[in-house]
A and B are shown apart, each in its own frame.
Chain A
Amino acid sequence: MPLPPRSQLSSPSIPALARAPPPARAPPRISHLRRHRDPRGLRGRQTSSALLRVPRGCVSASSPPRGSAHTRVPQPHPQDAGQDHEPPYEISVQEEVTARLHFVKFENTYIEACLDFIKDHLVNTETKVIQATGGGAYKFKDLIEEKLQLKVDKEDVMTCLIKGCNFVLKNIPHEAFVYQKGSSPEFRFQTNHPSVFPYLLVSIGSGVSIVKVETEDRFEWIGGSSIGGGTFWGLGALLTKTKKFDELLHLASRGQHANVDTLVQDIYGGAHQTLGLSGNLIASSFGKSATADTEFSKEDLAKSLLHMISNDIGQLACLYAKLHCLDRVYFGGFFIRGHPVTMRTITYSINFFSKGEVQALFLRHEGYLGAIGAFLKGAEQDNPNQYSWEENYAGSSGLMSSSPELCPTQRARSGAFDLLEMDRLERPLVNLPLLLDPSSYVPDTVDLTDDALARKYWLTCFEEALDGVVKRAVASQPGSVDAAERAEKFRQKYWNKLQTLRHQPFAYGALTVRSLLDTREHCLNEFNFPDPYSKVKQKDNGVALKCFQRVIHSLDALGWEERQLALVKGLLAGNVFDWGAKAVSDVLESDPQFGFEEAKRKLQERPWLVDSYSKWLQRLKGPPHKCALIFADNSGVDVILGVFPFVRELLSRGTEVILACNSGPALNDVTYSESLIVAERIAAMDPVVRAALREGRLLLVQTGSSSPCLDLSRLDEGLAVLVRERGADLVVIEGMGRAVHTNYHAALRCESLKLAVIKNSWLAERLGGRLFSVIFKYEVPAE
């Protein structure tokens, strides 16, 4: 009996390679200035980029926010805040290095082109060994060694495959999906499950391997089958005289298997229900070709063969899943590799044989698993688990764009037809410990793959906003000679992404407003616009800081109850200052004088669209919270005149506050390093804040994110540690991106406050309100 290891040697395509980055575009991180170098393929990259220079202490900003480290706040700028035209800090350009993994797929036919590519991009003087896996590691060993002058280190196929699988499941949200042909959406992505183990991996190469993965490092080959992709290809070639795997699949997609297979109804007559089996079921694959002397069409034969093999694999997978009490089966291997035809038949088979109890899951980056695994194996001494990784949407080609029909030209040109880039984040990302049920947490409120209407709106919305973004990007780098050129390239890139997403909304996982925003950030970074709003934020922060004391005075003058409402209104009004929302950026662009008071007037009167303020007020009359975790949104008015007064009030009540800001820039959102300066400046003005910072009752932390939205399942580990240490019992999430586009339905184990002003009339209407409607959602978890 047969079994299995998949042979990549004979796989129809695609050695995937980890390569070093080509020179250029790095997303700037404030973090380490140390240069990273990985011996295998991954290496540091130098690039210049705009970077915030905090007067002092930016290195501490990146150290884990433990103990007092994060309470160290940058000193105020030597110039006094009272001087009107002085910005509160300087912006400078600095070299920065970040690590990125690049994966490129080539067809085996293009192995030489592939090796040239590696030679051009990868091989630096320090590289001595190249990790390779798959059957090709044996087949092309000599060629590789000769051409690259590197020693080939052959890695075990299955070990690499599983390492790669664990890696993508852990690091790429929406990596796994179920595929339902004909339903809407056809691709339904799984949010990352906190505990992926144990799972079953069925790798369908030329044969089938069934592996039970129990932990990061422990897996067991539990079975296999010799009827796999090689059988489809080999037998298919014999039966149809069609040589290529893809052509066989293409034939199969047009065939009618009932012409070749004996169906239950052929035996029972009619569609008789018997043995609990419906008449359409296949009783005997190829049964009709034994009795009839008729000629069979290639299409029908290929289809019948596909069904036979898919059903068989699905059945075995179910039997193994049942034996090991597993309900999730991930499928990979060249037989699957994003082919809708095979995903469909495998899914059908799994549903049929398990009666819906087992789920067939596919992976977006299935084709890279072996290469990722080989890379990780090579980088083992670097302990890759101390980092987190993030898919770079700008540099990755989406799912299905690798289909031969879709981009034949690109494929023909270089042999490279699919790309994946992963940015390394210097610290691990973890779940917010306060999530009620991490396994069911879905950050995004609306899945645009699911909601065609919303998808159409948002894609158009992002298209229309593109001009403004380009303009701002150019304006942000007045001294640069090629800014306009790069901005134009950015426009083209992002525009193309949007067009891809129109046709393949599933290309990068579930399409959401968040993913659209993140993709834009990634594309901006790609063309060296890491922070187009740096100057705007600088100015806004300066202006707002000047108003801080006035605002505090007027708040302090109010009675307790009035003050609470004013604080909340301040939070909301500050939130109107948001360059991410088109309606607002238009106003701000045309009327820079748009002020805080103006914003307050624009706000909807109570009762708000969602209004649990009374409940909140009632709560405030009770004992103070122990510790509040606040996710801040925009720079300027929002954080300085909205968030800080609110923070100050909580501190006065005896509540500790953890203020979490983005690690990297996104739109005009306040970044962690900016927040340090802002806090420092405010502390200089305000004794409450000053004392709290000094005493460690106000803690500034970074979220680990560079997105205008918020994924509570991927937060900086330091933040999570702090939340646990301080026993946070209130979470405040502010802004449309963090509290409406994401987390609106997030269930927490503690009290939470979600505040936002709807700055998009389409969304406002959808929610039953109008522009500048207010969301004030105070939730207390059920006992």
Chain B
Amino acid sequence: MLKLGGGGGGGGQDWACSVAGTGLRGEEAAFEVARLGDPRKAGCRGPGWGCAGIPDSAPGVGMLQAGAGEQARGGQGVEEVGAPAGGGEERPARHPPAPALRLLNRKPQGGSGEIKTPENDLQRGRLSRAPRAAPPAPGMGDHGGQPERSAPHAPGTPAGAGAAAVNGVLHNGFHPPPIQPPHLCSRSLPGGGDAAPRRLPLQPELQPQPPPPLHDSPAKKCRLRRRMDSGRKNRPPFPWFGMDIGGTLVKLVYFEPKDITAEEEQEEVENLKSIRKYLTSNTAYGKTGIRDVHLELKNLTMCGRKGNLHFIRFPSCAMHRFIQMGSEKNFSSLHTTLCATGGGAFKFEEDFRTIADLQLHKLDELDCLIQGLLYVDSVGFNGKPECYYFENPTNPELCQKRPYCLDNPYPMLLVNMGSGVSILAVYSKDNYKRVTGTSLGGGTFLGLCCLLTGCETFEEALEMAAKGDSTNVDKLVKDIYGGDYERFGLQGSAVASSFGNMMSKEKRDSISKEDLARATLVTITNNIGSIARMCALNENIDRVVFVGNFLRINMVSMKLLAYAMDFWSKGQLKALFLEHEGYFGAVGALLELFKMTDEQ
């Protein structure tokens, strides 16, 4: 059913090239790319069962460079921005420049593109009072591959604008190197002579704040932002990411605003723009990063902005490269709060801080999972339901995928199958408990498959499993009793012992890798099913929702689970599945970003 690789991945590369080629004219080209990408995505989704593009070769690096070129060019545009404001004050306070970055209070050049919304008006109103943050023009230079962080002092910048730019960079583009903040601050003040008086009004408010420690908490940043943004609905600065760093995969959701006004567009900090374009115009990143195009949620309104939600994943082992990239691309200059959940949020926190100068906002993974799931289900899957089940699960002929309305989801047993498995009983939005978990999960399937068959990827393992026959590997009830074991009402076809046939040397010697892969898949899946079923009985819950990336492109397991729930409960239990199976934690993290901002 699912064909991997091929078109999707290659396409990504092609487009990457085209971006690189047209990149000099910035956004139109980029948008075009994005638009062109759409039908492709749709096509990809066609079969209904997710197709994941496998990145064959790695356009990623090249793309980044392409993006960088674009940014570099964009950098010049920034000089027009002029209007430097309170950068000097802001920087020492080190608050994120907040939405100011995107909706700078400047004359819209291409005002036609602006969307008039109350929020925008409000922002405008606020922004007029707000300290200005200049787009970090030279920052793009950094993106462009200039290694030096001294970009602010790039020679040749016009004095006045330069000061603004310098300020802007300091506030908005980059965190200055940790040790230097006071330094830079004092330097910027004289530099931006004209700006100084305008900054004054804010000083009483900000000055009493001692220069906060470099890695102050996101909460603190928010507080600071609030002072500036008081009176408006709070909204975190772009880019909006939610991240779930799991044991095997990193799941990243990215909200791409589609309601950007031309004004915004112009004001958009270049590395922010480059991030947006890089992410939205590609479907594969580096060697291993994938955007699950078919899962993209379109025309979503989040936190008052309209846009698309993108779903991206890459292996956790690439985390260090990712952090490195964040550092190289100076992600920290965006002053965004990076909301992250999953174990990796804890494991890599230090690396984010020391290498990329990014402070993670760590979130509980189960909270995120549930909030993300409820949210995605509530918004639906581009007009279709998110949740589905299998009709006639015990009859292979008639077994069919059917939409399921999860409007009233409680109580539900939520089985999250990642590398390991967590099982939660969810009674309401905020009331849930972790019932149990098992270490026999997706990681076990892949790990055993790698050892047994020499395969290297989940896709490869699943492909083998799809071709195999587990009954050659497993010992069935009929292998022992010659038929059904009537005393216990067990069918002869039931598995008595997983891998039981492999006790015999002759059978070991003659078994195929496909059969082994299939047996591994069936064993792990059935076991999760057993445990989930017992938990459902113990908790007295009859809806079991299976999520997690173990189910990605894994129809065998889904149907097995649907079968097992139905068969062993005599139809009492229903197995439910969700289209965005593995991404709810990341979505939940993104939602936390909004909530966090809101609460301030």
Q: Which residues of A contact B (CB under 8 A)?
A: 1-5, 7, 9-10, 135, 138, 156, 158-159, 205-207, 209, 221, 223, 225-231, 233-235, 237-239, 243, 260-262, 264, 266-270, 272, 274-277, 281-291, 296, 301, 308, 311-312, 315-316, 319-320, 322-323, 353
CB-CB nearest in chain A for B526: A1
A interface footprint on B470-500 (CB within 8 Å = 1, 0 otherwise): 0001110101111001011110001111111
Tell whether, in the assembled complex, residue A284 and residue B420 are in contact, meaning their CB atoms are under 8 Å apart. yes
Interface residue B468 (Cβ < 8 Å from any Cβ of A):
no
Tell whether, in the assembled complex, residue A262 and residue B346 are in contact, meaning their CB atoms are under 8 Å apart. no
Q: Return 17 A-B CB contacts under 8 Å, by A number.
A: A10-B480, A207-B495, A221-B489, A226-B526, A227-B498, A230-B499, A231-B499, A234-B473, A235-B499, A264-B343, A269-B349, A272-B343, A275-B365, A275-B422, A285-B443, A289-B451, A311-B438
Interface residue B446 (Cβ < 8 Å from any Cβ of A):
yes
Interface residue B160 (Cβ < 8 Å from any Cβ of A):
no
Among A138, A209, A231, A319, max chain B CB count under 10 A is at A231
Tell whether, in the assembled complex, residue A287 and residue B247 are in contact, meaning their CB atoms are under 8 Å apart. yes
Bound complex: CA A322 to CA B480 (Å)? 30
Tell whether, in the assembled complex, residue B436 and residue A243 are in contact, meaning their CB atoms are under 8 Å apart. no
Q: Which residues of B contact A9 (CB under 8 A)?
A: 480
Q: Which residues of A contact B497 (CB under 8 A)?
A: 2, 7, 10, 205-207, 226, 228-231, 234
A284 in complex: contacting residue of B317, B444, B498, B538, CB < 8 Å: B444
Among B246, B422, B480, B501, max chain A CB count under 10 A is at B480
Q: Which residues of B contact A233 (CB under 8 A)?
A: 499, 502-503
A interface footprint on B396-423 (CB within 8 Å = 1, 0 otherwise): 0000000000000000000000111010
Tell whether, in the assembled complex, residue A158 and residue B488 are in contact, meaning their CB atoms are under 8 Å apart. yes
A320 nearest CB across to chain B (Å): 7
From B255-263, B265-273, B529-537, the one touching the partner chain is B529-537
A324 nearest CB across to chain B (Å): 10
Among A3, A138, A156, A301, max chain B CB count under 10 A is at A3
Q: Which residues of A contact B2 (CB under 8 A)?
A: none
Bound complex: CA A320 to CA B378 (Å)? 35
Q: A261-B439, A267-B247 are known contacts. Are A286 and B477 too (CB-CB below 8 A)?
A: no
B444 in complex: contacting residue of A138, A229, A287, CB < 8 Å: A287
Among B496, B498, B564, max chain A CB count under 10 A is at B496
B487 in complex: contacting residue of A206, A221, A276, A315, CB < 8 Å: A221
Given contacts A5-B481, A260-B447, A269-B347, 7 further A-B contacts (CB under 8 A): A2-B496, A10-B503, A158-B488, A275-B422, A275-B434, A323-B534, A323-B538
Interface residue B348 (Cβ < 8 Å from any Cβ of A):
yes
CB-CB nearest in chain B for A282: B439
Tell whether, in the assembled complex, residue A243 and residue B480 are in contact, meaning their CB atoms are under 8 Å apart. no
Among B247, B422, B526, B538, max chain A CB count under 10 A is at B247
Q: Which residues of A contact B419 (CB under 8 A)?
A: 262, 267, 283-284, 287
Bound complex: CA A274 to CA B505 (Å)? 43
Q: A156-B487, A262-B443 are known contacts. Are A284 and B247 too (CB-CB below 8 A)?
A: yes
CB-CB nearest in chain B for A205: B497
CB-CB nearest in chain B for A225: B530
Tell whether, in the assembled complex, residue B564 and residue A1 are in contact, meaning their CB atoms are under 8 Å apart. yes
Bound complex: CA A751 to CA B56 (Å)? 87
Interface residues of B in 317-366 (CB under 8 A from A): 317, 342-344, 346-350, 365-366
Instruction: Identify whether the interface residues of B are mostly helix, strand, loop, or mixed.
Output: helix
Interface size range on B against A: 35 or more
CB-CB nearest in chain A for B502: A234
Bound complex: CA A223 to CA B531 (Å)? 11
Bound complex: CA A507 to CA B569 (Å)? 44
A159 nearest CB across to chain B (Å): 7
Tell whether, in the assembled complex, residue A322 and residue B477 are in contact, meaning their CB atoms are under 8 Å apart. no
Q: Which residues of B contact A237 (CB under 8 A)?
A: 502-503, 505, 508
CB-CB nearest in chain B for A319: B534
Interface residue B527 (Cβ < 8 Å from any Cβ of A):
yes
Q: Which residues of A contact B481 (CB under 8 A)?
A: 5, 138
B527 in complex: contacting residue of A5, A10, A225, A282, CB < 8 Å: A225
Q: Which residues of B contact A283 (CB under 8 A)?
A: 247, 343, 419-420, 439, 443
Q: Which 9 residue pairs of A and B lie closest in terms of their CB atoms, listed nearest first?
A: A269-B347, A234-B502, A284-B443, A267-B343, A286-B447, A230-B497, A230-B500, A287-B443, A234-B499
A551 nearest CB across to chain B (Å): 67
Q: Which residues of A contact B239 (CB under 8 A)?
A: none
Bound complex: CA A1 to CA B529 (Å)? 8
Q: Which residues of B contact A (CB under 8 A)?
A: 246-248, 315, 317, 342-344, 346-350, 365-366, 418-420, 422, 434, 436-444, 446-452, 473-475, 477, 479-482, 485, 487-490, 494-503, 505, 508, 516, 523, 526-527, 529-531, 534-535, 537-538, 564, 567-568
Tell whether, in the assembled complex, residue A3 and residue B494 are in contact, meaning their CB atoms are under 8 Å apart. yes
A6 nearest CB across to chain B (Å): 8
Q: Which residues of B contact A320 (CB under 8 A)?
A: 534
Q: Which residues of A contact B246 (CB under 8 A)?
A: 267
A4 in complex: contacting residue of B444, B451, B496, B567, CB < 8 Å: B496
Tell whether, in the assembled complex, residue B498 and residue A2 are in contact, meaning their CB atoms are under 8 Å apart. yes
Q: Which residues of A contact B420 (CB under 8 A)?
A: 262, 282-284, 287
A80 nearest CB across to chain B (Å): 69
Q: Which residues of B contact A223 (CB under 8 A)?
A: 530, 534
Bound complex: CA A257 to CA B498 (Å)? 21
Tell whether, in the assembled complex, residue B346 and residue A268 are in contact, meaning their CB atoms are under 8 Å apart. yes
Q: Which residues of B contact A261 (CB under 8 A)?
A: 439
Q: Which residues of B contact A238 (CB under 8 A)?
A: 452, 499, 502, 508, 516
B346 in complex: contacting residue of A260, A272, A281, CB < 8 Å: A272
Bound complex: CA A440 to CA B366 (Å)? 44
Tell whether, in the assembled complex, residue A266 and residue B480 are in contact, meaning their CB atoms are under 8 Å apart. no
Tell whether, in the assembled complex, residue A1 and residue B567 are in contact, meaning their CB atoms are under 8 Å apart. yes
Q: Which residues of B contact A234 (CB under 8 A)?
A: 473, 497-503, 508
Bound complex: CA A272 to CA B344 (Å)? 11
Among A159, A267, A272, max chain B CB count under 10 A is at A267
CB-CB nearest in chain A for B560: A1
Tell whether, in the assembled complex, residue A287 and residue B248 are in contact, meaning their CB atoms are under 8 Å apart. yes
Bound complex: CA A244 to CA B422 (Å)? 34
Tell whether, in the assembled complex, residue B436 and residue A5 are in contact, meaning their CB atoms are under 8 Å apart. no
CB-CB nearest in chain B for A211: B488
A1 in complex: contacting residue of B317, B446, B494, CB < 8 Å: B494
Q: A239-B452, A268-B347 are known contacts. Are A226 and B447 too (CB-CB below 8 A)?
A: no
Bound complex: CA A274 to CA B444 (Å)? 21
Bound complex: CA A138 to CA B479 (Å)? 11
Bound complex: CA A312 to CA B419 (Å)? 16
Q: A283-B420, A285-B447, A286-B451 are known contacts. Are A5 and B496 too (CB-CB below 8 A)?
A: yes
Tell whether, in the assembled complex, residue B485 and residue A5 are in contact, meaning their CB atoms are under 8 Å apart. yes
Q: Which residues of B contact A209 (CB under 8 A)?
A: 488
Among A238, A285, A322, max chain B CB count under 10 A is at A285
A611 nearest CB across to chain B (Å): 56
Tell whether, in the assembled complex, residue B447 and residue A284 are in contact, meaning their CB atoms are under 8 Å apart. yes
B488 in complex: contacting residue of A2, A5, A228, A296, CB < 8 Å: A5
Q: Which residues of A contact B496 (CB under 8 A)?
A: 2-5, 7, 206-207, 226, 230
Bound complex: CA A243 to CA B508 (Å)? 10
Q: A3-B494, A227-B498, A296-B451 are known contacts. Are A353 and B346 too (CB-CB below 8 A)?
A: no
Q: Which residues of A contact B475 (CB under 8 A)?
A: 7, 10, 206-207, 230
B523 in complex: contacting residue of A231, A239, A277, CB < 8 Å: A231
Q: Which residues of B contact A156 (CB under 8 A)?
A: 487
Tell whether, in the assembled complex, residue B440 and residue A308 are in contact, meaning their CB atoms are under 8 Å apart. yes
Among B246, B440, B487, B497, max chain A CB count under 10 A is at B497
Tell whether, in the assembled complex, residue A239 and residue B451 are in contact, meaning their CB atoms are under 8 Å apart. yes
B288 nearest CB across to chain A (Å): 12
B490 in complex: contacting residue of A4, A138, A266, A315, CB < 8 Å: A4
Q: Which residues of B contact A158 (CB under 8 A)?
A: 487-488
Q: A2-B495, A312-B440, A320-B534 are known contacts. Are A290 and B248 too (CB-CB below 8 A)?
A: yes
B346 nearest CB across to chain A (Å): 5
B529 nearest CB across to chain A (Å): 6
